[in-house]
Amino acid sequence: MIYQIDTHAGVPIYRQIMDQLRRQILTGQMSEGEQIEQVRKLAARLKVNPMTISKAYAFLEQEGLLERRRGVGLFVASVATEKQSDTKKQLLDEAISKAAAEAIEMEVSEAEAIQIFQEHYRDLTSRKKGAQS
């Protein structure tokens, strides 16, 4: 998994890891039971202290998204799957709702807003395709 860490962002590193990993799990991009990258390896890869990684994992464990198997490693919890489909829709819904609210507050008509939406959608899609090829 690729982590985007911004050391100077104000947001603590452990929290950035939590957020990104949580998202991966809840959107189903990591399967149930899958092993999580080892604390020390990830620490070495991101060039941060192992405790920082450990802290992120510890909180996610408390959230019920990770499961510790003693002496073996950390895994995506089996419970996590239940929360997935809900979360996917919810994240999208929130973003779209926010966008609609902005449009209304800015007195932008539905048609205009949709047009802007389409532009962004197509732009992002073509970029993604470009990156893949």
Partner DNA sequence: GTGGTCTAGACCACG
Partner DNA sequence: GTGGTCTAGACCACC
Cα→Cα distances 111→26, 66, 100, 104, 124, Å: 33, 44, 12, 12, 20
DSSP state of 77: -
Shortest distance (Å) from residue 41 CB to a second copy: 21
**CB of 38 or CB of 87, closer to a second copy:** 87
Q: How far apart are CA 102 and CA 50, in angstroms?
A: 41
Candidates 30, 74, 76, 77; binder of DNA (CB under 7 A) is 74
Candidates 49, 97, 118, 126; binder of DNA (CB under 7 A) is 49
Q: Indicate which of DNA, a second copy, none lies near residue 39 (CB less than 5 to 8 Å, by partner kind).
A: DNA
Q: Indicate which of a second copy, DNA, none lies near residue 128 (CB less than 5 to 8 Å, by partner kind).
A: a second copy
96 contacts 90 by C-beta, under 8 angstroms: no
Interacting positions 16-75 with a second copy (CB under 8 A): 27, 49, 59, 62, 67-71
Q: How far apart are CA 67 and CA 52, in angstroms?
A: 18
By the rule CB under 7 A, 83 interacts with DNA: no
By the rule CB under 8 A, 126 interacts with a second copy: no
Candidates 1, 15, 123, 126; binder of DNA (CB under 7 A) is 15
By the rule CB under 7 A, 45 interacts with DNA: no
How many Cα atoms are found within 13 Å in the side-chain-facing hemisphere of 16? 15
By the rule CB under 8 A, 5 interacts with a second copy: no
Residue 62 phi/psi, 5-degree rounding, is -65, -30
